[in-house]
């Protein structure tokens, strides 16, 4: 891909650029139709955001080149990440490629292995059941907001332990959506505006300071809270799975974050905070968006909902869901996989060319922004026929691996999502619990339109949940 004797072909430029702003108006007004339309112009297409060019990769094979085979020359970076790094610090998702990233990824990996996550499954189920069970019957609900609250609560229980005080959880729940909104605003503005002492910037700094205090309290709480906990009376799956962690109920109460705290002087307090902030930001909206869209699709596809309910009834036989049921719910996994495919949920992720390089027969200059899009690839009719159709049967358990090659939702290569196992567990728990708790789902708003920020979100999604 890098060495070729043929002269590189010029990169085609997308039509419709305006003087000064380039294609920015199209990205703002019609982002998803615009980004998917680029496929018609070539495997790599040049767009302009104001004066700055960016190269959008529309060929999935070339995206693998960027993320995997030539990853050394396409570094994590670009405007959005640079802003997020400034806001959230050097957590795993925002830290630049290099030794620190590799080292931290190695230290964090055990947090997210499947067996380790399974030890938090029942605590998450308990948390989700109590929240979803508290919804008022047939009350009109903002489902995207609900999914944000439930995913955050389940994540906090898994991360910081089941005995996290309610007041801390409540404050996280209030703070996180506002911080996310502020961060998205900051990614859209020129960097110098974000440095001005404007009320909005000062408020965001204040909220982030408060978030760091809350994280400290959550970390200290579980350290202190776990110290005197009684030993587990029985089997500890973490120990059985060979997890390099303390065994017993005290550990289970402590949460996944214990892995980092136990790494002792490998992480300073500030770095622990950065990692917690990053994880929260990476974990919540992605899973909440997928769940919200999936619930919406169930209202449009009663046959899918019926199959899901039948699978759940056969596995749980009238009792509440348990962690060990999750592997026996393959159709639920297919349905969620199709939700992830159809809606992205990320639509624009960036890299930065570390040197002059050839990609797909085109010359890419050093320093150029490269854009790749899970949404674009996963809605490519060449690989997913009739991509607008929600069809969980695209993902039979024995599906050919070639189809899977075009699913980029969790990225690939060395910066691939570290939380993928966690996401599947959490999403299965929440979907199954909503269905178990509420026999009837009803859409009461018009069909939602996709809007874009970091993920592809429903603009409005109101549903009612009933028992009959």
Rounded to a whole number of angstroms, the minimum distance from the CB of residue 466 to ligand HEM is 27
Decide if 107 contacts 294 (C-beta within 8 A).
Answer: no
Rounded to a whole number of angstroms, the minimum distance from the CB of residue 256 to ligand HEM is 8
Residue closer to ligand HEM, measured from CB, 36 or 281: 281
Rounded to a whole number of angstroms, the minimum distance from the CB of residue 292 to ligand HEM is 11
- Which has the closest alpha carbon to 144: 314, 312, 288? 288
Decide if 207 contacts 182 (C-beta within 8 A).
Answer: yes
- Which has the closest alpha carbon to 410: 344, 320, 333? 344
Q: Which residues bind ligand HEM (CB under 6 A)?
A: 76, 92-93, 105, 278-279, 282-283, 286-287, 290, 340, 345-346, 349, 374, 409-411, 415, 417-419, 422-423
How far is the C-alpha of 405 from the C-alpha of 423, rounded, in Å? 19
Q: Can you say whether residue 63 is alpha, beta or left, with left for phi > 0 and alpha for psi between -120 and 50 degrees? A: alpha
Rounded to a whole number of angstroms, the minimum distance from the CB of residue 345 to ligand HEM is 5
Residue closer to ligand HEM, measured from CB, 68 or 443: 68
Residue closer to ligand HEM, measured from CB, 331 or 424: 424
Can you give the length of the chain in residues? 468
Q: Which residue of the chain is nearest ligand HEM when measured via CB? A: 419
Residue closer to ligand HEM, measured from CB, 96 or 200: 96
Residue closer to ligand HEM, measured from CB, 226 or 287: 287
- Which has the closest alpha carbon to 454: 181, 140, 175? 181
DSSP string, 257-317: THHHHTTGGGS-HHHHHHHHHHHHHHHHHHHHHHHHHHHHHHHH-HHHHHHHHHHHHHHHT
Residue closer to ligand HEM, measured from CB, 31 or 345: 345
Decide if 158 contacts 422 (C-beta within 8 A).
Answer: yes
Here the tokens at position 136 are 């008022």
Rounded to a whole number of angstroms, the minimum distance from the CB of residue 67 to ligand HEM is 7
Rounded to a whole number of angstroms, the minimum distance from the CB of residue 133 to ligand HEM is 23
**Alpha-carbon distances of 210 from 168, 203, 445, rounded to whole Å:** 11, 11, 36
Residue closer to ligand HEM, measured from CB, 35 or 464: 35
Here the tokens at position 17 are 């650029």
Rounded to a whole number of angstroms, the minimum distance from the CB of residue 189 to ligand HEM is 21
How far is the C-alpha of 41 from the C-alpha of 62, rounded, in Å? 15
How far is the C-alpha of 347 from the C-alpha of 340, rounded, in Å? 11
Decide if 73 contacts 42 (C-beta within 8 A).
Answer: no
Decide if 359 contacts 412 (C-beta within 8 A).
Answer: no
Other C-beta atoms closer than 10 Å to the C-beta of 194 total 19
Rounded to a whole number of angstroms, the minimum distance from the CB of residue 127 to ligand HEM is 15
Residue closer to ligand HEM, measured from CB, 38 or 279: 279
Half-sphere exposure of 21 (CA within 13 A, CB side): 9
How far is the C-alpha of 46 from the C-alpha of 206, rounded, in Å? 39
Residue closer to ligand HEM, measured from CB, 245 or 464: 245
Here the tokens at position 258 are 């214990």
Residue closer to ligand HEM, measured from CB, 152 or 464: 152
**Alpha-carbon distances of 389 from 343, 345, 363, rounded to whole Å:** 11, 16, 36
How far is the C-alpha of 374 from the C-alpha of 426, rounded, in Å? 21
Rounded to a whole number of angstroms, the minimum distance from the CB of residue 424 to ligand HEM is 8
Rounded to a whole number of angstroms, the minimum distance from the CB of residue 296 to ligand HEM is 16
């Amino acid at each position: 891909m890098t060495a070729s004797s043929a002269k590189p072909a010029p990169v085609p430029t997308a039509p419709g650029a305006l003087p000064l702003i380039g294609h920015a108006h199209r990205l703002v007004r019609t982002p998803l139709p615009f980004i998917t339309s680029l496929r018609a112009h070539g495997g790599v297409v040049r767009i302009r955001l104001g004066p700055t060019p960016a190269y959008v990769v529309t060929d999935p094979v070339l995206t693998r080149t960027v993320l995997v085979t030539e990853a050394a020359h396409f570094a994590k970076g670009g405007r959005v990440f640079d802003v997020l790094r400034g806001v959230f610090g050097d957590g795993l998702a925002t830290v630049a490629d290099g030794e620190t990233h590799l080292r931290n990824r190695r230290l964090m990996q055990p947090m997210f292995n499947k067996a380790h996550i399974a030890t938090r499954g029942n605590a998450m189920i308990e948390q989700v059941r109590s929240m979803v069970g508290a919804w008022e019957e047939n009350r009109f609900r903002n489902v995207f907001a609900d999914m944000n609250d439930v995913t955050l609560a389940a994540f906090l229980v898994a991360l910081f332990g089941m005995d996290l005080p309610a007041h801390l959880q409540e404050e996280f729940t209030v703070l996180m959506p506002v911080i996310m909104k502020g961060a998205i605003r900051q990614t859209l503005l020129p960097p110098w505006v974000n440095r001005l002492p404007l009320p909005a910037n000062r408020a965001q700094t204040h909220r982030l300071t408060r978030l760091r205090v809350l994280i400290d309290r959550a970390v200290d709480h579980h350290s202190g809270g776990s110290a005197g906990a009684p030993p587990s009376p029985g089997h500890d799956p973490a120990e059985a799975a060979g997890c390099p962690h303390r065994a017993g109920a005290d550990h289970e109460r402590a949460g996944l974050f214990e892995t980092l705290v136990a790494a002792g002087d490998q992480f300073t307090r500030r770095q622990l905070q950065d990692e917690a902030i990053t994880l929260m930001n990476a974990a919540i909206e992605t899973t909440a968006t997928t769940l919200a869209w999936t619930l919406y699709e169930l209202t449009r596809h009663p046959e899918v909902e019926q199959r899901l309910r039948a699978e759940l009834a056969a596995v749980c036989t009238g009792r509440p869901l348990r962690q060990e049921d999750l592997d026996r719910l393959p159709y639920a996994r297919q349905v969620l996989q199709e939700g992830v495919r159809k809606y992205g949920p990320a639509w624009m992720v960036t890299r930065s060319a570390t040197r002059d390089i050839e990609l797909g027969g085109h010359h890419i200059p050093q320093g150029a922004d490269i854009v790749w899009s899970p949404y674009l690839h996963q809605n490519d009719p060449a690989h997913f026929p009739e991509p607008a159709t929600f069809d969980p049967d695209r993902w039979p358990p024995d599906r050919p691996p070639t189809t899977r090659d075009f699913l980029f939702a969790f990225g690939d290569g060395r910066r691939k999502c570290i939380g993928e196992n966690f996401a599947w567990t959490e999403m299965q728990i929440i979907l199954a619990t909503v269905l178990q708790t509420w026999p009837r789902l009803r859409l009461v708003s018009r069909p939602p339109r996709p809007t874009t920020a970091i993920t592809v979100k429903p603009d409005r999604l109101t549903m009612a949940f009933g028992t009959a």
